[in-house]
Amino acid sequence: MRIGIFCVTLICWNSLFAVIGGFKFHRTQHTERISGSAGDVLDDDPVGRLKVFVYELPSKYNKKFLQKDPRCLTHMFAAEIYMHRFLLTSPVRTLNPEEADWFYTPVYTTCELTPNGLPLPFKSPRMMRSAIKLISSNWPYWNRTEGADHFFIVPHDFAACFHYLEEKAIERGILPLLMRATLVQTFGQRNHVCLKDGSIIIPPYAPPQKMQAHLIPPTTPRSIFVYFRGLFYDVGNDPEGGYYARGARASVWENFKDNPLFDISTEHPTTYYEDMQRAIFCLCPLGWAPWSPRLVEAVVFGCIPVIIADDIVLPFGDAIPWEEIGVFVAETDVPELDTILTSIPIDEILRKQRLLANPSMKQAMLFPQPAQPRDAFHQILNGLARKLPHDVSVFLRPGEKKTLNWTAGPTADLKPW
Ligand SMILES: *[C@@H]1O[C@H](CO)[C@@H](O)[C@H](O)[C@H]1NC(C)=O
Ligand SMILES: *[C@@H]1O[C@H](CO)[C@@H](O)[C@H](O)[C@H]1NC(C)=O
């Protein structure tokens, strides 16, 4: 009876599995149509709606880094590399800058890594400044708008603030030269100096093939109630405790380490991806930044993301109905997490799971190679297309005073690169 009612509102799939963009999702589950315009937006095809001109830069701004350290092809900031590659062969690319709606400058600002594989963003402002200087002297387009029709991929923790510590990032602010450009970034938090109006928030990069290799049958029971693997304290960088994750992760640990409903630990098992597919709720608390790849993993593995990061701005928020898929818990409410999650009616849990089973939702979180319709690359283009046409006011009239300040910012950033 119940199934009958469901089928009125659900798309009922009979096929055992379908291949979606090279990503196989077993489909014995029902999939719920995404309500309202959000679903339509997710399915938009950007081709024909915008033209992008890709500046050609000396390889020291991009490819040289890769030759030196291929690890940046797999870390969570790799979107800057794959977006560049994607655009070079995309049908939205134009070789004629005169007809371009958008200009893209391929600078890999997160590809200089420590021995541990973490990006060192200290030279990024100089690199970026140098690249902008180069495009503005060699082509006339930057000066026309001072970058208002240019976009940049800045996937680092605090985006174009170029620092991994929030305090320092806030102090620096967004690189002054990028104040008129559109920033495509993973960092999203409301009322934060590192996020300005009009930015496009994207998911971090999580390796699609690797995730696919760990898929288990969707009929596997979800026997874990709450799952989390990761740090609760970051003793190395926050010896006093309390600053890391604004104390939210520490609170998860202290309150629930002995609670049988909570499968939480700092140990990262080899079955991590499988475990997420066996869990109902996956905790996605803030760390140093509000976002982490867990969000992508939760969606791909159909585990309801429990988002603990006040004021977070989520990826492609105009296309993905995060409020419907996920559970939002205020950082101060962490001690009540068990009550909050056990009070969610079963029907609501099932509905969220059906929404998560929607292949469009998963596809939008991924940067597959080769690209596929509706994936994260296409959602970025959709975001750029929705910002068109540019307001005429962004084009400087002859003699109009420029607004960007080339000598603003920390002195060390002004050194040539
Ligand atoms: C753009 O403006 C800068 C000064 O703001 C100037 O040095 C540069 O030559 C201009 N670029 C072009 C292509 O005219
Ligand atoms: C540009 O910024 C520098 C450093 O903050 C400042 O000294 C200078 O006056 C600014 N120039 C303009 C034109 O606002």
- Residue 133 Cα to ligand 1 middle (Å): 9
pLDDT at 41: 76
* Cα–Cα dist 337/287, whole Å: 18
The CB of 136 under 6 Å from ligand 1? The reply is: yes
Find residue 265's DSSP bridge partners: 229
Atom of ligand 1 nearest to the CA of 402: 5
pLDDT tens per residue, range 266-305: 999 999 999 999 999 999 999 988 999 999 999 999 999 9
Q: Which of 175, 407, 413, 414 to mutate to test the pocket of ligand 2 (most atoms within 8 A of CB)?
A: 407
Q: Quick check: 320 and 38 in contact, CB under 8 A?
A: yes
* CA-nearest residue, atom 5 of ligand 1: 143
Residue entry with tokens 């489909």: 27
- Residue 141 Cα to ligand 2 middle (Å): 24
Please list every protein residue whose CB sits less than 6 Å from any atom of ligand 2.
405, 407-408
Which of 214, 211, 183, 208 is CA-nearest to residue 82?
208
- Residue 400 Cα to ligand 2 middle (Å): 18
Spans of the chain below 70 pLDDT: 1-30, 33-39
Burial 405-414 (b: 16+ CB within 10 A, else e): eeeebeeebe
Beta-carbon-side half-sphere exposure of residue 20 (alpha carbons within 13 Å): 22
Which of 205, 204, 206, 201 is CA-nearest to residue 383?
201
* CA-nearest residue, atom 14 of ligand 1: 140
Instruction: Output the CA–CA distances (angstroms, integers) from residue 197 to 83, 182, 183, 188, 192, in the order listed.
Output: 22, 9, 9, 11, 10
Ligand nearest to the backbone CA of 134: 1
- Residue 142 Cα to ligand 1 middle (Å): 9
- Residue 407 Cα to ligand 2 middle (Å): 6
The CB of 140 under 6 Å from ligand 1? The reply is: yes
Q: Which of 132, 136, 146, 403 to mutate to test the pocket of ligand 1 (most atoms within 8 A of CB)?
A: 136
- Residue 406 Cα to ligand 2 middle (Å): 8
Q: For the chain, give every domain's residue range.
A: 52-205+375-414, 208-363
Q: What's the residue count for the chain?
A: 417
Q: Which of 146, 172, 405 to mutate to test the pocket of ligand 2 (most atoms within 8 A of CB)?
A: 405
pLDDT at 230: 97
pLDDT at 36: 59
pLDDT at 392: 94
Residues sharing a CB contact under 8 Å with residue 17, sequence separation 6 or more, in sequence order: 24, 25, 26, 27
Instruction: Output the CA–CA distances (angstroms, integers) from residue 2 to 5, 6, 156, 346, 381, in the order listed.
Output: 5, 6, 46, 14, 40
- State the CATH architecture for 208-363: 3-Layer(aba) Sandwich (3.40)
Find residue 31's DSSP bridge partners: 11
pLDDT tens per residue, range 52-63: 999 999 999 999
- Residue 136 Cα to ligand 1 middle (Å): 6
The CB of 259 under 6 Å from ligand 1? The reply is: no
Q: Which of 143, 177, 400, 402 to mutate to test the pocket of ligand 1 (most atoms within 8 A of CB)?
A: 143
- Residue 117 Cα to ligand 2 middle (Å): 36
- Residue 177 Cα to ligand 2 middle (Å): 12
Residues sharing a CB contact under 8 Å with residue 103, sequence separation 6 or more, in sequence order: 52, 53, 55, 97, 135, 141, 142, 149, 150, 151
pLDDT at 179: 96
